[in-house]
Amino acid sequence: METNSILSQIKASFPRGKDVVLVAVSKFQPADVIRRVYDEGQRIFAESRVQELQWKAEELPDDICWHFIGHLQTNKVAKLLGIRGLELIQSVDSFKLLECIDREAAKSGKVVKVLLEVHVAREDTKFGFAPSELIEWINGEQHLRLTAVEVCGVMGMASNTDDEERVKADFKAIAEVFDMLKQSVPSWKRFNILSMGMSGDYRLAIEEGANMVRIGSSIFGERHP
Ligand X SMILES: *Cc1c(COP(=O)(O)O)cnc(C)c1O
Which residues sit at the interface with ligand X, rule CB under 6 A? 25, 27, 48, 69, 198-200, 214-218
Q: Which is nearer to ligand X, 211 or 218 (CB)?
A: 218
Q: Which is nearer to ligand X, 5 or 184 (CB)?
A: 5
Measured from each CB, the residue nearest to ligand X is 216
Q: 36: how many CB neighbours lie within 10 A of its CB?
A: 13
| Least Å from the CB of residue 142 to ligand X | 26
| Least Å from the CB of residue 177 to ligand X | 16
| Least Å from the CB of residue 170 to ligand X | 14
| Least Å from the CB of residue 201 to ligand X | 8
| Least Å from the CB of residue 202 to ligand X | 8
Q: Which is nearer to ligand X, 180 or 198 (CB)?
A: 198
Report the SS3 class of residue 122: coil
Q: 4: how many CB neighbours lie within 10 A of its CB?
A: 7
- Residue 168 has phi, psi (to 5 degrees) of -60, -45
Report the SS3 class of residue 31: helix
Of 18, 30, 23, 1, which is closest to residue 199 (Cα–Cα)? 23
Distance in angstroms (rounded) separating the CA atoms of residues 172 and 154: 13
Q: Are 208 and 172 in contact (CB under 8 A)?
A: yes
Give the rounded distance of the alpha carbon of 99 from its chain centre.
18
Q: Which is nearer to ligand X, 142 or 217 (CB)?
A: 217
Q: Which is nearer to ligand X, 47 or 104 (CB)?
A: 47
| Least Å from the CB of residue 102 to ligand X | 22
Give the rounded distance of the alpha carbon of 45 from its chain centre.
10
Q: What is the DSSP letter of 28?
A: T
Q: Are 26 and 56 in contact (CB under 8 A)?
A: yes
Q: Decide the pairing of beta strands 44-47 and 193-196.
A: unpaired
Q: Which is nearer to ligand X, 125 or 187 (CB)?
A: 125
